[in-house]
Amino acid sequence: MAEHHTKIPWHRNPKVRSIFFQVALLAATVWVAATILGNTVENLEERGIRTGLGFMGGAAPFNVGFSPFIEYKLGESTYTDVFIIGVLNTMLVSVLGIVAATVLGFFIGVLRLSPNWLMAKIASAYIEIFRNVPLLLQIMFWNFAVFLPILPAPRQSWGLGATAFLNNRGLYLPSPIVESAAGVWLMVAAIAATIVGIIILRRWAHRRQNRTGQPFPVLRVALAAVVVVPVLAYFAGGQPFTLDFPFLDTFNFEGGMRIPTPLFALWFALTTYTASFIAEAVRGGILSVSHGQTEAAYALGLNRKRTLDLVIIPQAMRVIIPPTISQYLNLTKNSSLAVAIAYEELVNLWAGIALNQTGQALIIIAMTIAVYETLSLGTSAFLNWYNARRQLVER
Partner 1 sequence: MNAAFTHKPAPDRPPPRISVGAVGWMRDNLFSSWMNTALTIVAVYILITLIPPFVQWALLDANWGGRDRSICDANKDGACWTFIKVRFLQIMFGLYYGANPDQVWRPVLAFALLIALAIPLFVESFPYKRYVSIGLLVVFPFVGYGLIHGQWFGLPVAETSQWGGFMLTFVLASVGIVCALPIGILLALGRRSNMPLVRTLSVSYIEFWRGTPLITILFMASVMLPLFFPAEVDFDKVARAMIGIALFQSAYTAEAIRGGLQAMPRGQFEGADAMGLKYWQSMRLIILPQALKISIPGIVNSFIELFKDTSLVAIIGLLDLLNMAQTASRSIEWKGYDIEAYLFAALLFWICCYGMSRYSQALERKLDTGHKH
- Residues of this chain that interact with partner 1 (CB under 8 A) are 18, 21-22, 25-26, 29, 36, 39-40, 43-44, 46, 114-119, 122, 128-129, 132-138, 140-141, 144-145, 333-334, 336-337, 339-340, 347, 351-352, 355, 361-362, 365, 368-369, 372-373, 375-377, 380
Torsion of CA 177, 181, 182, 188, to 10 degrees: 70
Query: Between residues 102 and 143, which has the closer beta carbon with respect to partner 1?
Result: 143
**Shortest distance (Å) from residue 352 CB to partner 1:** 8
**Shortest distance (Å) from residue 166 CB to partner 1:** 20
Query: Between residues 168 and 209, which has the closer beta carbon with respect to partner 1?
Result: 168
Q: Residue 138: phi, psi to the nearest 5?
A: -65, -40
Query: Between residues 25 and 224, which has the closer beta carbon with respect to partner 1?
Result: 25
The span from the CA of 288 to the CA of 280, in Å, is 12
Q: What is the DSSP string of 250-272?
A: SSSEESSEEEEHHHHHHHHHHHH
Q: What is the DSSP string of 344-390?
A: -SIIIIIIIIIHHHH--HHHHHHHHHHHHHHHHHHHHHHHHHHHHHH
Query: Between residues 149 and 213, which has the closer beta carbon with respect to partner 1?
Result: 149
The span from the CA of 364 to the CA of 344, in Å, is 16
CB 338 within 8 A of CB 266: yes
The span from the CA of 81 to the CA of 55, in Å, is 12
**Shortest distance (Å) from residue 197 CB to partner 1:** 35
Helical H runs in 213-260? 218-236
Query: Between residues 106 and 216, which has the closer beta carbon with respect to partner 1?
Result: 106
Amino acid present at 272? T
**Shortest distance (Å) from residue 322 CB to partner 1:** 14
Query: Between residues 275 and 347, which has the closer beta carbon with respect to partner 1?
Result: 347
**Shortest distance (Å) from residue 171 CB to partner 1:** 22
CB 378 within 8 A of CB 325: no
CB 263 within 8 A of CB 66: yes
**Shortest distance (Å) from residue 291 CB to partner 1:** 14
**Shortest distance (Å) from residue 98 CB to partner 1:** 16
The span from the CA of 36 to the CA of 109, in Å, is 47
Q: How many CA atoms lie within 13 A of 50 on its CB side?
A: 5
Q: Specify which residues 171 forms β-bridges with.
A: 166, 259
Query: Between residues 243 and 365, which has the closer beta carbon with respect to partner 1?
Result: 365
Query: Between residues 312 and 361, which has the closer beta carbon with respect to partner 1?
Result: 361
**Shortest distance (Å) from residue 52 CB to partner 1:** 16
